[in-house]
Amino acid sequence: MSEQKLQSQTVQTTGHAWDGDLQEYNNPLPVWWVYTFYVTVVFALVYWTIYPSWPFGKGWIGGLSNITYVNSDGETKTHSWNTRALLLEDMNRAAIAQKPYFDKVAAMSYAQVAKDPDMNGFILSAGKALFSDNCAPCHQAGGQGVVGFFPNLTDDDWLYGGSFDKIHETITGGRHGYMPTFSEVLSPEQIDQLANYVASLSGIGHDATKAAAGNVLFHSETAACYYCHGADAKGRKEIGSANLTDNIWLWANVPAASSAEGKVAAIRSVIASGLNKGVMPAWAGRLSPEQIKVLTVYVHELGGGQ
Amino acid sequence: MNFNFKHEWIETNIGLLAVLTMLAISVGGLVEITPLFFIDKTIEKVDGVRPYTPLEQRGRDIYQREGCYLCHSQMIRPFRDEKLRYGHYSLAAESQYDHPFQWGSKRTGPDLARVGGKYSNEWHVQHLTAPRSMVPESVMPNYPWLKATPLDTSDIAERMKALRKVGVPYSLTDAEYKANVAKFGETVAKQLHIPNAQQSLIEQANFGNYDGDRSGISEMDALVAYLQVLGTMVDFGKYKDDAFVNDR
């Protein structure tokens, strides 16, 4: 009882008393809390006038804050503040900063860009960023490719050609590899003979008798391999057929096989099932012409450019 | 400063209490509801956005079943780094037929809003089966069963009917079909017609051969078909870079 009396002296009550001695405390909110609340109200009012906020009429209140930037055509544009306008400002500021470099890239020939020491740093850094974002998922971070799937870009073996113009053509328009399924036209023995012949071209252990028969088959109308791979089996870059004589393998996973039989079997499986892969997407819609030019030089300089 | 404000005034006046309670609750309501009255203004007017074809829609179902959204967002934000890496920022219009949308905010893997056309079908098949064979540093799980599991195509019409109920313009009647022809063109409208759903699913899967295996239609066919259409419907080459700036 005495404690309750003490409290009732220090804390205000509502003044009511029920059942004789039941009282209700009147605890006001702490002053710091009340003033913080008033500050948030003022903050909201200020925020609403500066930034886009309330729906109004047929749109919404844009706010007093504006974003002004100079676009690529040199025009000054102003929009009321929003994140999309902020992005435009950011993109255009960066574009203006990079313009001297990209203008230089656009004006120079590929060979000039590759040789210019000033441009090397730009190509290396801009090209590496572009390559990592767009090319590395297939061709891997260093451009080494994946045997069986995506070609190595660091060697001097090119399916479609390794000149600046050909690399540019490949990036711009994409590629699609194709080889017919020979298991439907040839017998397993004939495919085995062809595989041994192809192995012999790269100096891989093979059966000489089968290889000799495969040689005949390769240049015959039955298998007609020479149509695409050429009479010398060195491939034709205009259609992207592989050079079979250089012991560099993309589709047949020959390097993974340890025995000579395994290597021949890897070649055999490609001849039997054919290829309808080696699809590279076209990048013309995704990347700007300048970006493609930077990438062309970057890929060319990976080591294998011709 | 002392406002000498007593909550007693409110608590002892039931009429005032009711009015002020209603005011306080209506603020919460207005903030939630009013923007919906203006939603048409925020959906950009762009050409090309269409509902998913039956095969793509089945791929989308598999995308959700496997929980892809737990690591992948489909929302490119309007920042320079995102534009450079993923492409144009996502538009509200682009997910207008998504139920539920897959925007997300958790990115353990990259954003997928514009992954369509970026890689070949073959890359997707290999990457979904064994991600580290394509991207050595990846932490994505393997999904080897997608290629091995035949796609159940029998219930596609029912799935599309359900989506039609929530507003996706899949057509059930001739009138709806004609409206779709006018809106999306005949080729697309045929694929959005529910009575043809199973047949157009099978046709698209056989023609596209997304998983590289012609022997049947697998779940991989559907998922790759879905991934390859993501973010490709709008041709941004047609629009100026400030075309959508006044929609926000």
**B156, B56, B70, B45: which is closest to B98 by C-alpha?**
B56
Residue owning tokens 């995704």: A286
Look at residue A36 in the predicted model and tell me its pLDDT. Answer: 97
DSSP class of B212: S
Are the C-beta atoms of residues B218 and B151 closer than 8 Å to each other?
Answer: yes
Q: Which residues of A touch B134 (CB under 8 A)?
A: 137-138, 146, 149
Residues B149, B211: Cα–Cα separation, whole Å? 12
Are the C-beta atoms of residues B244 and B91 closer than 8 Å to each other?
Answer: yes
Residue owning tokens 């080494």: A144
**For B213-233, what is the mean pLDDT?**
95
Between B21 and A101, name the one with better pLDDT. Answer: B21
Asked if residue B224 has pLDDT above 70, the reply is yes
pLDDT band at A143 (very low <50, low <70, confident <90, very high): very high
Between A98 and B1, name the one with better pLDDT. Answer: A98
Asked if residue A222 has pLDDT above 50, the reply is yes
**In B67-112, which residue ranges form alpha helices assigned H by DSSP?**
80-86
What are residue A77's DSSP bridge partners?
A69
Q: In terms of C-beta density within 10 A (0-12 exposed, 13-18 middle, 19 or more buried), how is residue A152 classed?
A: buried
Are the Cβ atoms of A71 and B246 closer than 8 angstroms? no
Look at residue A9 in the predicted model and tell me its pLDDT. Answer: 55
Q: Calculate Rg over the CA atoms of chain A.
A: 36
| Residue % of chain A over a pLDDT of 90 | 46
Which chain A residue has the Cα nearest residue B231?
A286
Whole-prediction pTM = 0.86
Q: In terms of C-beta density within 10 A (0-12 exposed, 13-18 middle, 19 or more buried), how is residue A295 classed?
A: buried
Look at residue A136 in the predicted model and tell me its pLDDT. Answer: 93
pLDDT tens figures, B154-196: 999 999 999 999 999 999 999 999 999 999 999 999 999 999 9
Rounded (5°) CA angle A71-A77-A83: 90
Residues A198, A203: Cα–Cα separation, whole Å? 9
Are the C-beta atoms of residues B205 and B194 closer than 8 Å to each other?
Answer: no
Angle between helix A289-300 and helix A83-107 axes, rounded to 10 deg: 50
A87 at interface of B, judged by CB pairs closer than 8 A = yes
Look at residue A5 in the predicted model and tell me its pLDDT. Answer: 53
Asked if residue B121 has pLDDT above 90, the reply is yes
Look at residue B1 in the predicted model and tell me its pLDDT. Answer: 42
Are the C-beta atoms of residues B84 and B76 closer than 8 Å to each other?
Answer: no
Look at residue A8 in the predicted model and tell me its pLDDT. Answer: 47
**In chain A, which residue ranges form alpha helices assigned H by DSSP?**
2-10, 31-50, 83-107, 110-115, 117-130, 136-139, 164-173, 188-201, 208-218, 225-229, 260-273, 289-300
Are the C-beta atoms of residues B227 and B141 closer than 8 Å to each other?
Answer: no
Q: Which residues of B touch A276 (CB under 8 A)?
A: 212
3-state secondary structure of A60: strand
Complex ipTM above 0.85?
Answer: no
pLDDT tens figures, A22-42: 988 877 788 999 999 999 999
Are the C-beta atoms of residues B127 and B201 closer than 8 Å to each other?
Answer: no
**For B144-151, what is the mean pLDDT?**
96
Query: In chain A, what are the domains?
Result: 1-64 (no CATH), 66-107 (no CATH), 133-300 (1.10.760.10)
Asked if residue B230 has pLDDT above 80, the reply is yes
Residue owning tokens 């007017």: B45
Asked if residue B222 has pLDDT above 80, the reply is yes
**A82, A134, A176, A125: which is closest to A297 by C-alpha?**
A125
Look at residue B5 in the predicted model and tell me its pLDDT. Answer: 66
Cβ-based neighbours of A133, under 8 Å, separated by 6 or more: B84, B85
Q: In the predicted model, what is the mean pLDDT of chain A?
A: 88
Asked if residue A236 has pLDDT above 70, the reply is yes
Look at residue A115 in the predicted model and tell me its pLDDT. Answer: 84
| Residue % of chain A over a pLDDT of 70 | 97
- Cis peptide bond N-terminal to B100, omega within 30: yes
Asked if residue A1 has pLDDT above 70, the reply is no
**For A175-203, what is the mean pLDDT?**
91
Structure tokens at B50: 């269409």
Residues B32, B201: Cα–Cα separation, whole Å? 39
Look at residue A6 in the predicted model and tell me its pLDDT. Answer: 52
Look at residue A130 in the predicted model and tell me its pLDDT. Answer: 92
Are the Cβ atoms of B38 and A83 closer than 8 angstroms? no
Look at residue B41 in the predicted model and tell me its pLDDT. Answer: 77
Are the Cβ atoms of B242 and A79 closer than 8 angstroms? yes
3-state secondary structure of B56: helix
Structure tokens at A2: 């005495």
**For A152-163, what is the mean pLDDT?**
90
Q: Which of B79, B135, B247 sits opposite A137 (nearest CB)?
A: B135
A90 at interface of B, judged by CB pairs closer than 8 A = yes
Residue owning tokens 């529910």: B194
Rounded (5°) CA angle A244-A246-A250: 65
Strand duo A66-70 + A59-60: pairing: unpaired
3-state secondary structure of B150: strand
**For B83-109, what is the mean pLDDT?**
93
Write out the residues of chain B at the interface with chain A, using a CB-CB cutoff of 8 A.
Answer: 8, 34-35, 37-38, 41, 77-80, 83-85, 87, 89, 117-123, 126-127, 133-136, 212, 237, 241-242, 244-248
Are the C-beta atoms of residues B180 and B189 closer than 8 Å to each other?
Answer: yes
Which of A13-27, A28-42, A187-201, B80-94 has the weakest average pLDDT?
A13-27
Are the C-beta atoms of residues B195 and B157 closer than 8 Å to each other?
Answer: yes
Asked if residue B111 has pLDDT above 50, the reply is yes
Instruction: Give the closest-approach CA distance of B100 to chain A in angstroms.
Output: 25
Residues B3, A31: Cα–Cα separation, whole Å? 11
